[in-house]
Amino acid sequence: MKNKIFSAFLLVFAALLAMSFIGTDLQNKPWPVPDKYTKMTNPVKYNKTTATALWTKHCKSCHGKEGKGDGPKAAQLDTHPGDFTEAAFKKQAEGALFYKTLEGREDMPSYKKKIPDEEDIWQLVHYMKEM
């Protein structure tokens, strides 16, 4: 009986360990952005009221209030949503952030249909860069 319990414990531990490596691998996976987007700059004037409302409605649940990836839904994701306050995030081109928001990948949904006005996506880029 003790051997069966110990074996079950080892199996669960091994599965959890494997899942942690899979999540880390996905988080560190490069996210290629087409040159067309990396060269784009934000064409809209920042409207913090609009951007905050969009962030609250579409992004806050995963990315958190301050963009640290600690929103209430973050724990349910296979990959960490990222920390937008880190220097590596801040170095990303505005067009790259626009592309990633527009297209999505894995846990990050595409916002082409959810936010059809591209000016609103650009407002979110302003908001993300401000964090």
**Which fold is adopted by the domain 31-130?**
Cytochrome Bc1 Complex; Chain D, domain 2 (1.10.760)
pTM value?
A: 0.77
For residues 36 and 93, give the distance between their C-alpha atoms in angstroms, rounded to a whole number: 11
Give the Cα separation of 45 and 40 in Å (integer): 15
Looking at residue 10, what is its pLDDT? 43
Buried b (16+ CB within 10 A) or exposed e, 41-73: ebeeeeeeebbeebbeebbbebbbeebbbebee
DSSP 50-70: HHHHHHHHHTHHHH-TTSSS-
pLDDT at 5: 57
What is the residue-level pLDDT of the chain in tens, covering all 131 positions? 666 554 444 444 444 434 444 444 445 688 999 999 999 999 999 999 999 999 999 999 999 999 999 999 999 999 899 999 999 999 999 999 999 999 999 999 999 999 999 999 999 999 999 99
Give residue 1's identity as a one-letter amino acid code: M
pLDDT of residue 29: 81
